[in-house]
Amino acid sequence: MKTRVNKCDFMDRFRRFDRYEQFGYDALSALYDYLEQYEDDTGEEIELDVIALCCEYTNYDDLEDIQSNYTDIKDMDDLRDHTQVIEHKSGIVIQDF
């Protein structure tokens, strides 16, 4: 049995797991939109697993912040060559690699 979640439900699940602050509103909104688009593009349903998403994705303030953890990344194009990049108005969410 599956339950479809909207953006509000998605964010609420992160709050219930005390993980909302790990991303914040803008990042979670962008991540939700990305996952929705992925489902639409692939026809594959994603099961919402907050802890797995917290382990798989990280929100950064900017490219310099990312480069502090990934010193081999030169620029945004280089980053996109390595992983999924979800830009939003207050930062960048990447799929960890």
pTM here is 0.92
Model confidence band, residue 4 (pLDDT cutoffs 50, 70, 90): confident
Q: What is the pLDDT of residue 2?
A: 72
Query: Per the structure block, which two tokens stand in for 34?
Result: 């990305």
pLDDT for residue 19 is more than 70: yes
For 44-96, the pLDDT digits (tens) are: 999 999 999 999 999 999 999 999 999 999 999 999 999 999 999 999 999 99
**Which of 82, 28, 70 minimizes the C-alpha distance to 53?**
28
From the number of C-beta atoms within 10 Å of its C-beta (0-12, 13-18, 19+), residue 45 rates as exposed
Amino acid at site 21: E
Two tokens, residue 11? 């964010």
Q: Are the C-beta atoms of 14 and 8 separated by less than 8 Å? A: no
The counts of H helices and E strands in the chain are 6, 3
